Structure 1
Amino acid sequence: MAFYRYQFCDLVTDRPIADLDLTGVSFDRRICQPGTFSGSVAVTGTEIAEKVARVVGRHDEDLGRGPGRTVVHVWRGDRIWGTYLIWSAEPKSDNRGRITVDLAGASLESYLHHREIRTDLTLEDDDPVRLAGALIEVMEEDRPIGLVPVGPERTGEGPRRSAEPRSVSYRASEAITFGEALEDLSARDDGPEWMMRTAVRDGERIREFVVRDRLGQDRTEHVFAQPGNVLAWNYPADSTDAATTWRARGDAPDTAPDDEAEPVLSRVWTDARFEETGWPLLDRTVDAPGVTDLDELDAHARWWAGRSSGTVRFPQVTVRLAENTTLTPDRLGDSARLVLVNDWFPLVNGSPSFSRSWRVIGMEVTPASRGQGEDTATLIFEEPRRSLPGAEES
């Protein structure tokens, strides 16, 4: 059974504060968005109470400690599986006088959604990966938290270039957060993928903003099977937010008079296959703040048309994690093969009727505890990106 350690530190300086023994822990990591963290600590004496108070504080005057400025490094063995910013803490007592403190937080990506772009900003580059890194560098100019952009080493093939240099602009009056700006940058046809991780290099902890054209690798697969290390699975099909035609809405051009300040709209992108198979017309318009270029808006709409047209399927599976598992939260984006043999997916001619490979885009870990003697993880897969051979604009 793997050993977990929960090390609490200051967000800005990463100065250690205390290690706490937590129960009921659950944490997850995701690509391009924050993951969550929760856990509790039992206060069984004044010594433990003082230790917990150094982390969460006791009173309003405890400005040097508490939620909003404290992180927890989740160690699994000798590796950090995630760093989470503690956003809330709730000390409480039951009717028998037993005191516990519940902690809740989110991964470091959540910090990006608490930092606003407060000066007018325009960035231009022909490589979207560098644009993402530039946003982080701008954010780190004011009271940095030691976040280092780590992009791919562009070697022989050079940078991945857009058809034209890409320009992104943000107005201070819009109060857009860096997290929103990065999510918007990623939600485009050639948008980059990113995540934060805490790496240990020569005994020093380093916070990295890892950005790539596409995270992970598909040269080798992590295999999960039922019967075997698969504990549970679900495979929902959801059309709640789906559409068959997509349009992107940007901002009004800066040159437009106030009385003509209409937002720029992309063309409508439709996958002809949905019309051919009898789908109803389902329309969606998605916002692209700060964008006024028609080509950029077309790329934004085309991205959504390729990802969310028609029914969207996001399979999930809960698996046992071996102590030496090859799939860790820092390996998000890797491919994993799921092989199921059961009444829903029976054997056909002696072979599994369900054997498919997806990218892992999310991972929720539940460490072993009393009553659950093994580490488990719920994996969230990404359906393969649809090409748009029948895409048309109207």
Structure 2
Amino acid sequence: AAAEEPEIPTFPPFTPTRGDALYAYRFRRLRDGHFLGFLDLADVSFDKRINQPGSFTATVPIPSRAVGDLVAEVFPRDSTVLSAGAGVVVVDILRAGEVWGEYWITEANPTQSDRGTPEIHLQGTTLDGYMSSVELQAELPFAGEDQIAILRALVADMQSQSHANIGLVVPAGTSGVVRDRTYTDDGGTYGQRIQQLAEVDNGFEYTVDLVASEGTIVRQLTWGYPKLGGPEVHIFGWGPNGGDITAWAEQVSAARGATRYRARGGTPPSEGDASVSATALLSAPHEATAHLAAGWPRIDRTLSYSDVIVQDTLEDYAAHWVTVAPGAVRVETYTVALGASPSLHPNKLGDRCRIYLDNEWHAPHWRERRIIGLRIRPVSRQNGKELAELVLEGQEDGGFGVGEE
């Protein structure tokens, strides 16, 4: 590995979206940022979501012993080498010299088939995934505090713990919405508590961005109230004469939604007569009134928040889900080809897009949707285009994030 980090390669603005020279992959240690090396990766896929950790997958080909020696500087062959490897390193994804993402590598699995040379399969997560690996192991009470102040306090408390400071900053400001929260040592993680704090009625949105500040790159937990997103609108189309949409799909699933939501909490401490058994708190049913009035049947769903012992908080959770997932969950998926200088960027989650459809199923029309996630696949041997799959508001690609009953 190089003793010093080399300059990020530059590309002329007319570079087309072909070949794999557009991307570079830089590996560093998570905690101190120590540079370990650039590696050539294959079959790369990475995504980023609002209020959810994003994922990263890739393969490190090892066609020769010389390449293997370089790879071993980042992913050691010997398990006694503790200064690198899965759990220690992050990868920066550089697109035309610009940082498009940072992922904490959680798995690095060497393998070899009977027909090829060795390779290492990598998996990783965005840094909000790292926050879900650090448990909150002391009581943190908040009474009548702005929800963003609570967010900021949770991040600060995590980074005050030994060996957990990853340099994450939260921008200034408040939402004007106050909350009462008491967090205890019950096995919950900082990431879980932040997600639960955000996903309530009148909550907020957040994502982890890498932003340039005073000549350096800063890890920033960007928040937005009530939602993230800027004024820019991104245009994509599919029509008889082609377009940048390469594939689309729609799914409507009543099995993943409901018309009547409740939230079940924990059991509050007993007061007075110890012989009286306490029961878990339960919110009132929150109904999708418009759906029921239109003829929908009753479809129940009870979500579990075992750490919550405040009735109003449970009501906020039930009210949130009946708002975001009433009736059937509708999923629209669009895969688009990115140009050399696309308007879209992983730091622009929350922006809106306008989509033009004209085909055998869709009459010619425009539809506008909000982008809450991206999954990007750089050019590979299997695919000659750089593709981005748009995750649009209304999708529930991974459940509710809490227990279901």
Indicate whether the TM-score tops 0.5. Answer: yes
3-state SS of the aligned residue for 1:260?
Answer: coil
1:226 is matched with which residue? Answer: 238
Say whether residues 1:287 and 2:304 are aligned partners: yes
Say whether residues 1:168 and 2:181 are aligned partners: yes
Could you tell me how far 1:267 is from its partner in structure 2? 1.5
Which amino acid is the alignment partner of residue 191 of structure 2?
A: G
3-state SS of the aligned residue for 1:26?
Answer: strand
Could you tell me how far 1:46 is from its partner in structure 2? 2.3
Could you tell me how far 1:252 is from its partner in structure 2? 2.6
Measured in 2, the distance between the counterparts of 1:356 and 1:41 equals 40
Any idea what the Cα deviations from partners look like across 1:127-155, whole Å, max 9, x if unmatched?
A: 2222222211111101233333333x54x
8 Å contact kept, 1:169–1:290:
no
| Residue 145 of structure 1, aligned match among 165, 168, 172 | 165
3-state SS of the aligned residue for 1:231?
Answer: strand
Any idea what the Cα deviations from partners look like across 1:77-112, whole Å, max 9, x if unmatched?
A: 122111111111121222246111111111212101
8 Å contact kept, 2:30–2:166:
no
2:223 is matched with which residue? Answer: 211
Which amino acid is the alignment partner of residue 220 of structure 2?
A: E
Measured in 2, the distance between the counterparts of 1:204 and 1:124 equals 36
| Residue 327 of structure 1, aligned match among 307, 326, 344 | 344
8 Å contact kept, 2:248–2:333:
yes
3-state SS of the aligned residue for 1:314?
Answer: strand
3-state SS of the aligned residue for 1:223?
Answer: strand
8 Å contact kept, 1:129–1:213:
no
Could you tell me how far 1:225 is from its partner in structure 2? 0.5
Could you tell me how far 1:321 is from its partner in structure 2? 0.7
Could you tell me how far 1:279 is from its partner in structure 2? 1.5
1:105 is matched with which residue? Answer: 124
Could you tell me how far 1:125 is from its partner in structure 2? 4.4
| Residue 4 of structure 1, aligned match among 23, 26, 34 | 23
8 Å contact kept, 1:38–1:104:
yes
TM-score (norm 1): 0.88
1:336 is matched with which residue? Answer: 353
Any idea what the Cα deviations from partners look like across 1:358-383, whole Å, max 9, x if unmatched?
A: 11011000101235332110001003
How many residue pairs get aligned? The number is: 370
Measured in 1, the distance between the counterparts of 2:144 and 2:93 equals 36
Could you tell me how far 1:70 is from its partner in structure 2? 0.9
3-state SS of the aligned residue for 2:31?
Answer: coil
Say whether residues 1:86 and 2:101 are aligned partners: no
Report 1:5-84 matches (<5 A). Answer: 5-84=24-103
Measured in 1, the distance between the counterparts of 2:148 and 2:385 equals 38
**Percent of aligned pairs sharing the same letter:** 30
Measured in 1, the distance between the counterparts of 2:202 and 2:393 equals 17
2:210 is matched with which residue? Answer: 198
3-state SS of the aligned residue for 2:374?
Answer: strand
8 Å contact kept, 2:263–2:303:
yes
Structure 2: tracts of 5 or more residues without a match: 1-15, 396-405
Measured in 1, the distance between the counterparts of 2:95 and 2:296 equals 48
Any idea what the Cα deviations from partners look like across 1:32-56, whole Å, max 9, x if unmatched?
A: 1111111112212222111111212
2:402 is matched with which residue? Answer: none
1:237 to 1:50, Cα distance in 2 relative to 1, 3 A: same
2:13 is matched with which residue? Answer: none
Say whether residues 1:235 and 2:246 are aligned partners: no
3-state SS of the aligned residue for 1:240?
Answer: helix
2:386 is matched with which residue? Answer: 375
3-state SS of the aligned residue for 1:140?
Answer: helix
Any idea what the Cα deviations from partners look like across 1:226-255, whole Å, max 9, x if unmatched?
A: 031111011111122321111112223335
Measured in 2, the distance between the counterparts of 1:103 and 1:261 equals 47
Quick check: 20-29 or 40-49, which moved more? 40-49
8 Å contact kept, 2:370–2:392:
yes
Could you tell me how far 1:218 is from its partner in structure 2? 5.2
3-state SS of the aligned residue for 2:80?
Answer: coil
Could you tell me how far 1:296 is from its partner in structure 2? 2.1
2:12 is matched with which residue? Answer: none
Root-mean-square deviation over aligned CA pairs:
1.9
Structure 1: tracts of 5 or more residues without a match: 347-351, 385-394
| Residue 357 of structure 1, aligned match among 362, 368, 371 | 368
Measured in 2, the distance between the counterparts of 1:333 and 1:200 equals 20
